[in-house]
Amino acid sequence: MEWIILLVFLIIIIAFIGMHVKIVNQSESYVIERLGTYRVTWSTGLHFLVPFIERIAKKISLKEHVVDFPPQPVITKDNVTMQIDTVVYFQVTDSKLYAYGVNNPMMAVENLTATTLRNLIGDLDLDATLTSRDVINTQMRAILDEATDKWGIKVNRVEVKNILPPREIQDAMEKQMKAERERREAILQAEGKKKSQILIAEGEKESVILQAEAAKERQIREAEGRQKAMVLEAEGQAKAILEVQKATADGLSFISQAEVNEGTVKIKELEALAKVANGKSTKLIIPSEIQSLTGLAASLKEAVSIDKVEDKEAK
Judge whether 207 lies within some domain.
no
Alpha carbon distances (Å) from 219 to 47, 74, 140, 158? 110, 83, 81, 80
Q: Indicate whether 83 and 140 sit together in one domain.
A: yes
Q: Indicate whether 73 and 138 sit together in one domain.
A: yes
Choose the final residue of a domain: 148, 165, 182: 165
Judge whether 98 lies within some domain.
yes
Determine contact, residues 49/30, Cβ cutoff 8 Å: no
Which residue range forms the structural domain that includes residue 281?
262-314
Q: Indicate whether 157 and 99 sit together in one domain.
A: yes
pLDDT given for residue 167 in this prediction: 84
Q: Indicate whether 80 and 104 sit together in one domain.
A: yes
Determine contact, residues 85/145, Cβ cutoff 8 Å: no
Q: Indicate whether 54 and 73 sit together in one domain.
A: no
Domains of the chain: total: 3
Judge whether 35 lies within some domain.
yes
Q: Indicate whether 103 and 114 sit together in one domain.
A: yes
Judge whether 231 lies within some domain.
no
Q: Indicate whether 20 and 96 sit together in one domain.
A: no
CA 304 from chain centre, in angstroms, equals 112
Judge whether 87 lies within some domain.
yes
Choose the final residue of a domain: 119, 139, 165: 165
DSSP string, 268-291: HHHHHHHHHHTSS-S-----HHHH
Q: Indicate whether 108 and 37 sit together in one domain.
A: no
Q: Indicate whether 72 and 13 sit together in one domain.
A: no
Task: To the nearest 10°, report the CA torsion of 58, 64, 70, 76.
Answer: 120
Q: Is 163 exposed, middle or buried (0-12, 13-18, 19+ CB in 10 A)?
A: middle
pLDDT given for residue 90 in this prediction: 92
Strand partners, 162: 85
Judge whether 244 lies within some domain.
no
pLDDT given for residue 306 in this prediction: 45
pLDDT given for residue 300 in this prediction: 45
List the CATH number of the domain containing 76.
3.30.479.30
Residue 28 phi, psi dihedral angles, 5° rounding: -135, 160
Choose the final residue of a domain: 39, 61, 83: 61
pLDDT given for residue 76 in this prediction: 86
Q: Indicate whether 39 and 82 sit together in one domain.
A: no
pLDDT given for residue 292 in this prediction: 53
Judge whether 25 lies within some domain.
yes
pLDDT given for residue 296 in this prediction: 47
Rounded to two decimals, the pTM is 0.53
The closest of 170, 116, 123, 118 to 143, measured between CA atoms, is: 116
Q: Indicate whether 134 and 69 sit together in one domain.
A: yes
Q: Indicate whether 74 and 147 sit together in one domain.
A: yes
What is the chain's pLDDT, residue by residue, as a tens digit (315 residues)? Answer: 677 777 777 777 777 777 778 888 888 999 999 888 889 998 888 888 888 888 888 899 999 999 888 888 888 888 888 888 889 999 999 999 998 888 888 888 888 988 988 888 888 888 888 888 888 889 999 999 898 988 999 999 999 888 888 888 778 878 888 888 888 888 998 988 888 889 898 888 888 898 888 888 888 888 888 888 888 888 888 888 888 778 777 766 666 665 555 555 556 555 655 555 555 544 545 555 545 545 544 544 454 454 454 455 555
What is the C-alpha separation between 18 and 48, in angstroms, rounded? 9
Judge whether 243 lies within some domain.
no
